[in-house]
Each structure stands twice: as C-alpha cells, then as structure tokens.
Structure 1
C-alpha cells in the first residue's frame, strides 16, 4: 500500500488552518500571514500547496463542503429509519454532535463572496439543499399526514435555528442559548408530531 502523499497531508493541514483563520477573521481577514502562522509553515509554501488566492478560495470551498457532507452523513447514520422529529432535534443539537462550527462560519464567509465569485453559488446551494432534504425527509417520514407546506416550514425553521447556533459561536454566547435554540426547534417539531 503506497504511503499517503506528503503534499496531500500538508495541503489538508493548510486548509484546516485556512478554515480556522476564516472562522476567526472572515475571508478578507484570513491573510496569508495568518494562515501560514496557524499552519506552522512559511508563507511561500501556501502558493506551493494551494495555489494563488482564487485557487485557495476554491480549495477552501471544496474543503468546507466536504466537511459539511461528512457531517451530514454522520447525521444520517445517527438517525434511525423511524426517526421522530424529536430524534432529529436531539441529534442536531447534541453536545457531541461532531459538527465543527468553523464550517458554518466559513460557509457564511463564502456566501458573502458569491456576488464576486458566482461559480461558488451552485455548490453552496447544493450543500445547503442536501442538509435541508435530510431534515425534511425525517419530518415527512415521521408525519406523513402533515401538509407539505407545514413540513417544509418546520424543516426551514429547524434548519435556520441549527445554522444560527454555529453562526453565533464567535460571540461565545451563554450555554443556555444552545438549550433555548434546541427548545425552539423542539417546539417547531412538536407541531408535526401533533399530526401523528
């Protein structure tokens, strides 16, 4: 079995450092100096491993979306086939859910540059749609008699609440807010459970 490429490993380390810098400082504030320092490499190596600024942003987008896809797969596996809306909310808002808040912050940063980089739009939308589809699918299976409009509205609400939880992480909000956001999602979910 061949050894993993050192370039691939180093690229992943630099992308992880880039993700951290974007989460802390935003896309514009994630300077090459900061990324290099976070990755523990010299600045010229960034170009060697990731390319120019445009290539770096494309690589960050791919890295972020791969992280979302992995988190989404973990969510799918965590939910039983007959998951209830409550099971969904519990999985999304679990303390050890495995969701990296840096992903949401990087996602938001990438969304802000779509007007200047329209090539990112479709992949970002596809990723968000995939998450929304998982939430909606669980709700539809759990409450098949609920009107589609209600199911979609609850799916949108739960998704928005979940996304806002990570979006607020740089503020280091009180822990009780996480519990309150989970309760808000649970209250929305209960509107469909009443249809059972």
Structure 2
C-alpha cells in the first residue's frame, strides 16, 4: 500500500512559514532561503511544494484570501444571531479576538506588491467586497429604515476602521486605540 502524500500538509506548513517571513521581512525580504529555514526544509523543496517565486506569491495570496474569507464566513454566521450595531462592534473589536497579526501584515505586503504583481489584486478585492457585503447585509437588517447608500457607506467605514485596527496589531499600538476605533465605528452605526 503506498504511503499517503504529505504534499498538502507540507504545502500548508510552508505557506505558514512564508506568511511569517512576509510579516517579518516584507514580501521582497521573504527570500526562499528565509522561508526554507522557517519551514525547516531545504530550499529546493520549496519549488516541489509551491513552485517558483511567482507561484509561491500566488499561493500565499490565495492562502491569505482563503483565511480572510473563512473569517468572513464565521462573522456572517455570528451576525445572524445578533440584533444591534453594538453587538456587531463587540464581535469586531473584542479584546481577545484579534486576527493573526501575520495574516494582516501579509495582506498589507501582498497589497503593496500589486504594482509588480497585478494578478494579486482581484482575489484581495473580492475578499474585501465579501466582508463589506456581510456588514451591509447585517446593517440593512438591523436598520431597515436606512437608505442603501447610507448602509453601504457605514459598512465601508466600519470595514476600514476594523482593518486599520488589525494593521496596528503588529505595532503593539496603545490599547486605548482599540477603544477609540471602536467608538469611531459606533458613531458610524449611530448615523443609521
């Protein structure tokens, strides 16, 4: 009986190591040598598991997009069980519910590289569009008298505030910033 393939597992482990390196060194600084060392594999195995550098970047982009899409699906499920904007903000800005800071930093690194890799833009934009759509759906449900334009604007504002919070995680920003950003999001929801 043949041994089961370890390729899916090793590919995930290498992508995780790649995300760590991108978070630590940026996309250009996440060299194959650094990724291999972080993953505990020899450099030539990177090509076996993920392909050349461009294919690795594409795989990381998909990995990051999938992770954010999964988080958005979880959020959508939670939002079906709540009824107020304050409850939404409790979920988004909970002290103990930070997104893996490597994920947010990898997102930023990939976004910043779109000039050199335009193919990265579409999956990242689709992720943002899904997140905003989930927020819009919830806000429209809990604020049925609000116009669609106002709901869309508030959803965009909350998403931008939320993503700013995640981007600050790597900086170890003062804890009062989380409170202030949540208050800014609350002010937006109050306009509905």
Give the structure 2 partner of residue 108 of structure 1.
108
With 57-66 and 99-108 compared, the bigger mean Cα shift is at 99-108
Does structure 1 conserve the Cα–Cα contact (< 8 Å) formed by 2:82 and 2:88?
no
Q: If the length of structure 1 is used for normalisation, what is the TM-score?
A: 0.90
Could you say which residue in structure 2 is the equivalent of 1:51? 51
Q: Which residue of 1 aligns with 2:170?
A: 170
Look up the match of 2:21. Answer: 21
Q: Does 1:38 align with 2:38?
A: yes
Provide the secondary structure at the position in 1 that maps to 2:170.
helix
Measure the CA separation in 2 of the matches of 1:9 and 1:165.
31
Q: Which runs of 5+ in 2 are unaligned?
A: none
CA contact (8 A) 1:82 1:141 kept: no
In structure 1, distance between residues paired with 2:56 and 2:170? 23
Partner of 1:74: 74
Q: Check conservation: 1:114, 1:121, Cα contact below 8 A.
A: yes
TM-score by length of 2: 0.92
CA gap of 1:82–1:169, structure 2 versus 1, over 3 A, is closer
Deviation at 1:85, TM superposition (A): 1.5
Q: Using a 3 Å threshold, how does the CA distance of structure 1 residues 179 and 82 change in structure 2: closer, same or farther?
A: closer
Partner of 2:157: 157
Q: How does 1:65-144 map to 2 (within 5 A)?
A: 65-97=65-97, 99-144=99-144
Is the contact between residue 19 and residue 103 of structure 1 (CA under 8 Å) also seen in structure 2? yes
Calculate the aligned-residue CA RMSD, in Å: 1.8
- Preserved contact between residue 98 and residue 166 of structure 2 (Cα < 8 Å): no
Cα deviation, 1:52-106, whole Å, max 9, x if unaligned, reads 0010001001100110111111111222345322121111111233622222221
CA distance in 1, matches of 2:102, 2:151: 29
- Gap change, CA 1:4 and 1:158, over 3 Å in 2: farther
Classify 1:133/1:4 alpha carbon distance in 2 versus 1 (closer, same or farther; 3 Å).
farther
